[in-house]
Structure 1
């Protein structure tokens, strides 16, 4: 063997690359092992240089040449296999997409408007588009229950491993573990719990109303203030205290860090191995380390200050108390708290921002909605939940502007999946772009128009109700959707009962859409609105 390597270093090195691909890398998932693989290459390269010093037959060996030939063999084998022999080779899509996941990363990096780029590919190639070496984007509305529903045989893909070691109900890929964790979240969002949260939500709605009152008739960036509102609410419900952004008018550490990190990680969500390496590199991982140290400090403070009324943290902590409370359990607990902070704030803020953008552009419907609001005697959680036009406006907003526009990643089972007459092979990654699905003419008439009445007295505009699932379907559906509805209904009714709304003079449709960022969840840019007092105010 030594003679072969020393005699034909380039050929033998290339052969090791080909063998490594077929015997190892084609089997299983390797994203989480990226740091180990990189370290192994460094050790082997160093070992070859040491070997040169101790073995005469290797003294003339050019280790850089050997490494280059090995990588050439490895990547050549990968490219040929993905183009000519891969199980997804028959699905249409850009050639580069079938070769490397960097194609999808580049789509994400392009203004962080991945949902638009994916939509463009579907218009070009059809319902099934290969967007990665083993990844399909599926824009067939009938695929929603098959991929995401209760009876689905798919599981979460490697994207969710990016949260390690802070595993939560959102990131766990084990269905039994998810079911166990989901129970505590369901308790946290039970009807009784929501009634207990109502007064606290109203407190922050009142703070936001105070801000609006100080800016009547002036342009105000409501995207910013809706973020403050939703983050202050979730801070109270998890840590027992507000982030005080509605009071100070300044971004808290949590908000600044979340949006900064989401935008920096957004372009790499199709190559999770990159994030695994970044998390271990000093300097590059500093933001992540500091952030979770902050989460830890907030948790410790909350444990020392138990509120009178139970909240979300109460349920999370109760579940943690029932574990061994090992280091691993602690990290998972921190993960649960973190996912509550993120999921319970960002999506609500973006939905509120998009809702008020649509209402400002639909004054006739907004007048109808204000009349419905005026007719409600007591604005309790129960009363607001029964308002038809309000619920229709929220649903229509989430149809046009889903919080997760590019969909959730799933891994098909070994036997694959049938969608109509199309077979999706096993062990493939699939995503359903909700932005495209919810605007599909096969399911919704006039799909790009804001028509809330399609959910009330215009059912003819909804051709296929099953194609609408803004909070997901099946066991992985969002547990906190009723809290989100509560926050949205509360501040919407309080604002519209007092004010008429309009776009500020300099706010354009183009600027609003240009400001949106798809980093798994949508982060909205500026929305400049003007509020003017109504002729009569319902108290």
Structure 2
């Protein structure tokens, strides 16, 4: 048989049995997924080993964090969530997977969440997969996120606090219910505005969303959470490289980028040569001022692109995660009156400034700090795996060799609900973060303070709300300052309650967002 004849026969056979051939190829593909070398023995939902579709559908339902907790309770420390994805629940693996070397690199889930500017994707500290690029970019901006640098602008945060109190007081004075969950996000947005641009972004003044930012961010998170399960689809969807070229107006769809550029233009303009000229007399400690000054003195160290990308990252990530934590703190306090009374008593008895200062909260309010930690343990802001690729050659994880290229990761919700580390994990118990608390009730005379320190150290190893390693959230100090300041300020001024037995509604769209029931505020009659 000649080669031409053979090709003709094959073509005829394919034409005659297309569906049979497609079925066979699909079966082979599914079976090859299921029996991947090194992963075939790792347990998980039966369908998950065959196709990514199971994981995608689970994420679409918006409760993937609870699914993961249940799966680890059933299967153990390793759970296979997709043909090439393994979820890990062992806190001992945190320094392995998220080490400072960064050899477990980020996956295709992350670049989806970057802005597009000047007709191409612009990677930020969060989205870049390159450890070299991340290291170089972080060097440029890390100092601006230090506690010392941020507290130089504490007076700006206090201005937001005063306006927040004033606006909430209007609800309290007329006895009107308030959507406190939304107001907490307005506060977080305006604080980010002050720290980033030296100006409020208008959320508190308006008492509502500004330029559709909150809605836009929710849409971006929804897309990222779902497309992130099949990131190879992104180049054919919003990541199509032809879109910015064929449709230059596409960049105007990016609400975060446009909001950032609008805020920048209230202070300066971006000229064609990329220079940023701040108004005379407006140079301060805010991030735009600091980075524009660096750009002016050393363009090779900080480019206009760097400034825009880092500022837009603040806008995207700086409000939602903090608002989620603030909602969690207040919600759990409301639902646990004994904890609320204990915290209010601590606040009333402490000697605090009229506007609570961060240092005061850190040094004089130990129970507040325990409340904050417990709320973030019980409801961490991020609800999906922090994915990483196993390095070439593979790695031993939980005494199992995982092949190189496999996606592994840890979900904060799974770690934080591990009853071997956090007894009674579904309960809100701030005392667990304080020395002297025992999961078994009253401490006996034989128990030592060393036991407390060991227990606390073990919990700290499993406390994962900001990630770990070289990619730990760079904005964590911003969030912590806001929590330490606004919670005691709110509770010293108002009694906060939720009428009836109404519960919040939570939805996991990468960030686990909550819709809080309407709250009632009453001004406190302090002695």
Match of 1:442 among 397, 403, 420: 420
Cα 1:5–1:319 shift into 2, 3 Å: farther
Of 483-492 and 333-342, deviating more is 333-342
5 Å-filtered alignment, 1:34-433, equals 75-110=26-61, 112-150=62-100, 153-163=103-113, 165-216=121-172, 217-253=175-211, 254-279=213-238, 280=240, 288-289=253-254, 291-304=256-269, 305-306=278-279, 307-317=282-292, 322=298, 333-374=307-348, 375-378=350-353, 379-386=356-363, 387-433=365-411
Give the SS at the match of 2:396.
strand
In the alignment, is the contact (CA less than 8 A) between 2:260 and 2:315 conserved in 1?
Answer: no
In the alignment, is the contact (CA less than 8 A) between 1:263 and 1:517 conserved in 2?
Answer: no
Cα 1:191–1:227 shift into 2, 3 Å: closer
Give the SS at the match of 1:337.
helix
Relative to total residues, which structure has the larger helix share, 1 or 2? 1
What is the Cα deviation at residue 316 of structure 1? 4.2
What is the Cα deviation at residue 121 of structure 1? 2.1
Q: In the alignment, what sits opposite 1:28? A: none
Of 359-368 and 143-152, deviating more is 143-152
Give the SS at the match of 2:229.
coil
Give the SS at the match of 1:158.
coil
Match of 1:455 among 433, 436, 442: 433
Q: In the alignment, what sits opposite 1:54? A: none
In the alignment, is the contact (CA less than 8 A) between 1:137 and 1:433 conserved in 2?
Answer: yes
What is the Cα deviation at residue 116 of structure 1? 1.1
Give the SS at the match of 1:531.
strand
CA offset digits 1:28-73 (Å, max 9, x no partner):
xxxxxxxxxxxxxxxxxxxxxxxxxxxxxxxxx89xx87x788666
What is the Cα deviation at residue 361 of structure 1? 1.5
Give the SS at the match of 2:496.
strand
TM-score normalised by length of structure 2: 0.83
Give the SS at the match of 2:466.
coil
Give the SS at the match of 2:285.
coil
CA offset digits 1:295-319 (Å, max 9, x no partner):
4444344434553422122344456
Cα 1:142–1:240 shift into 2, 3 Å: same
Of 528-537 and 445-454, deviating more is 528-537
In the alignment, is the contact (CA less than 8 A) between 1:146 and 1:152 conserved in 2?
Answer: no
Query: 1: distance between equivalents of 2:493 and 2:423?
Result: 33
Q: In the alignment, what sits opposite 1:508? A: 502
CA offset digits 1:373-415 (Å, max 9, x no partner):
2212333221122221111110011100111122311111112
Cα 1:290–1:215 shift into 2, 3 Å: closer
User: Superposition RMSD on alpha carbons, in Å?
Assistant: 2.8
Q: In the alignment, what sits opposite 1:50? A: none
Query: 2: distance between equivalents of 1:74 and 1:242?
Result: 58
Unaligned runs of 5+ in 2: 115-120, 270-277, 440-454
Cα 1:101–1:347 shift into 2, 3 Å: same
CA offset digits 1:140-159 (Å, max 9, x no partner):
23222222243664111111
What is the Cα deviation at residue 529 of structure 1? 1.9
